[in-house]
DNA sequence: CCGAATCCTGGTAGATACTG
DNA sequence: CAGTATCTACCAGGATTCGG
């Protein structure tokens, strides 16, 4: 395949040769949430041309970042899954995402908000030092989709979908309460008072949420 | 300029729109070492086409990552310099570089080793937790170029060029002793014994060096 | 010499249609 | 569902040229 090379002996150059092409890192981002099928990936990346998606998946497989696996019989589907090497990109993607989030106030016209992008934003906003020794589960219901957040002994697991046994359910009623909490533009008391959010569980946990997820 | 967009409300997508094009991150990497002129950048990126370099510099300027500045009179030169926003990319570049360095054993045929790439590799290999409260200066002479490393109270400053008052000078005589020290394939005693390195200063500091810089 | 702009070519991405 | 195929448009690579 001989992807274009930078002709430099440099770790950054090597990284960019492997995942520097358009869309590659976003595909890895989506796969960080677990194995995904081709059509799941298409859904999470509404603007990607299908030929580019298949090309990138082949390249990721070839580079050892992902594997392609056919599910056993009744499912009759193909799933793509990150290897450990691919998962090791997570810190770099978080660092990039955190940097990019600084100029991100409102969605631009035509921009999609995908579950995977939101999951990523929870990852980038997570403050491990605020979550020391904490174990708590959240379920964030944000209109079209729901995200599950589990913090176990201070380490975070995120994914799209419902939480099996949340300590707190955070349900968006109007506006963007979760984004406002995370950016610090509103306090937990604000969003509870103005009716933009409804919680199930101990409302005090919303304060812990705001401490642990902050840009 | 409307660089191609990913149409997703996601920090990572925003980051890739700003610095995801070919060569952009490597230019930022080189500018991390301080203001550089157009020709300095060309030297540090031997394979970059000149039109791409000027296009990228304009884009970086437009995106607010870098500034273009004409030096006052006698110099009659233009320098490019990162803004604070641009410098904030450093952690992300380090994370990417660290990931990319894992598959980097030997230079591939035709690959250049530039001073900026080596400076970057010291940044990625640096272990702040090993350098707590340490203040020490190194000068690494690696054949064609020399790198200055200053650790002050545990924080690292790197750059090409000589160190004004090094506590230890590490001079390469043969092979790749510094790379071997950092990868752990040789110990300080090894490289001192096999004659691949010569030091000026307290040889015990080579042990500290190997502790603080390790992949 | 420095700092580009220009031109041409070829490769990669985008859009959409189509298929096992 | 999971991709190919095809066509177009754009971007990168390489060489040359140009103005200060």
Q: Are the beta carbons of B112 and A7 separated by less than 8 Å? A: yes
Domain limits at B80? 11-102
Q: Are both A21 and A83 inside the same structural domain? A: yes
Q: Write out pLDDT tens, residues A150-208.
A: 999 999 999 999 999 999 999 999 999 999 999 999 999 999 999 999 999 999 999 99
Q: What pLDDT is recorded for position A73? A: 72
The pLDDT, as a whole number, for residue A70 is 87
Same domain for B182 and B133? yes
Model confidence over B8-44: pLDDT tens digits?
A: 999 999 999 999 999 999 999 999 999 999 999 999 9
> What is the arithmetic mean of pLDDT over B144-164?
96
* CATH code, domain carrying A35: 1.10.10.10
Considering the domain architecture, whether residues A75 and A34 belong to the same structural domain is answered as yes
The encoded tokens of residue B87 equal: 């410098």
Å from A126 (CA) to D12 (C1')?
Answer: 38
Q: Tell me the chain A residues in contact with residue B32 when contact means C-beta distances shorter than 8 Å.
A: none
Q: Write down the pLDDT at residue B160.
A: 93
Nearest Cα residue to A14 out of A85, A82, A78: A85
Residues A13-38: tens digit of each pLDDT: 999 999 999 999 999 999 999 999 99
Token duo for residue B50: 């000149």
Q: In terms of domains, do B95 and B18 share one?
A: yes
The pLDDT assigned to A61 comes to 97
Q: Is residue A152 part of a domain?
A: yes
Using the CA of B56, give the nucleotide whose C1' is nearest: D12
B15 falls within a domain: yes
A72 three-class SS: coil
Tell me what percent of the residues of chain B surpass a pLDDT of 90.
91
Q: How far is C-alpha A5 from the geometric centre of its chain's CA atoms? A: 29
Question: Is residue B1 in a domain?
Answer: no
DSSP state of A107: P
* D10 nearest neighbour residue (CA to C1'): B4
Percent of chain B exceeding pLDDT 70 equals 98
Domain count of chain B? 2
CB A30 within 8 A of CB A43: no
For the cut 50, the answer to whether the pLDDT of residue B198 exceeds it is: yes
In 3D space, the residue among B146, B190, B142, B185 whose CA is nearest the CA of residue B164 turns out to be B146
**Is the predicted pLDDT of residue A2 greater than 60, yes or no?**
no
Chain A residues with CB inside 8 Å of B49's CB?
none
Which nt sits closest to B39, CA to C1'?
A: C2
**Residues B173 and B146 sit within 8 Å (Cβ to Cβ):** no
pLDDT in tens, A57-73: 999 999 999 999 988 77
How many Å does it take to go from CA A56 to C1' C11?
Answer: 16
In a domain, B3, yes or no: no
Average pLDDT of every residue of chain A = 95
Instruction: Say if residue B93 is in the same domain as residue B166.
Output: no
Query: Do residues A100 and B12 touch, judged by C-beta distance below 8 A?
Result: yes
Structure tokens at A85: 């090497």
**B33 inside 8 A of chain A by CB:** no
Please tell me the total number of residues recorded for chain B in this structure: 215
- Name the strands in the sheet holding B136-142, side by side, starting at the edge strand that comes first in the sequence: B155-160, B145-152, B136-142, B168-172, B197-201
Domain-embedded: residue A155: yes
d(CA B43, CA B30): 10
Report the alpha-carbon distance of residue B104 to residue B120 in Å, rounded.
14
Tens-place pLDDT, residues B116-139:
999 999 999 999 999 999 999 999
Q: Is B29 part of any domain?
A: yes
Supply the pLDDT for residue B74. Answer: 66
Residue B205, C-beta contacts closer than 8 angstroms, at least 6 positions apart: B136, B138, B167, B168, B199
Residue A206 and residue A170: Cα distance in Å, rounded? 8
Kindly determine whether the C-beta of residue B51 is less than 7 Å away from any atom of nucleic acid strand D.
yes
Distance CA B136, CA B153 (A): 9
The pLDDT value recorded for residue B1 is 39
Determine the average pLDDT of the residues in B49-59: 95
* pLDDT greater than 90 at residue A77: no
Q: Is residue A97 domain-shared with residue A139, that is, in the same domain? A: no
| Residue contacts between A and B (CB atoms, under 8 Å) | 180
What pLDDT sits at residue A200?
Answer: 97
pLDDT of B2 strictly over 60: no
């Amino acid at each position: 395949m001989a992807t274009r090379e930078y002709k430099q002996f440099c770790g950054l150059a090597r990284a960019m040769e492997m995942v520097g092409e358009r869309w590659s890192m976003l595909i890895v981002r989506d796969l960080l949430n677990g194995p995904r099928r081709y059509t799941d990936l298409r859904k999470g990346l509404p603007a990607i041309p299908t030929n580019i998606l298949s090309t990138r998946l082949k390249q990721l497989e070839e580079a050892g970042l992902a594997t392609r696996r056919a599910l056993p019989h009744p499912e009759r589907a193909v799933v793509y899954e990150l290897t450990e090497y691919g998962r090791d990109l997570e810190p770099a993607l978080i660092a990039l995402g955190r940097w990019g989030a600084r100029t991100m106030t409102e969605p631009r016209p035509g921009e999609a908000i995908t579950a995977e992008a939101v999951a990523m934003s929870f990852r980038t906003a997570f403050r491990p030092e605020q979550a020391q020794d904490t174990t708590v589960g959240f379920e964030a219901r944000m209109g079209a989709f729901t995200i599950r957040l589990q913090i176990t002994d201070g380490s975070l697991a995120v994914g799209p979908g419902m939480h099996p046994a949340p300590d707190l359910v955070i349900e968006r009623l109007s506006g963007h309460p979760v984004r406002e909490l995370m950016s610090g533009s509103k306090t937990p008391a604000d969003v509870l008072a103005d009716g933009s959010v409804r919680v199930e569980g101990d409302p005090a946990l919303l304060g812990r949420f705001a401490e642990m997820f902050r840009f």
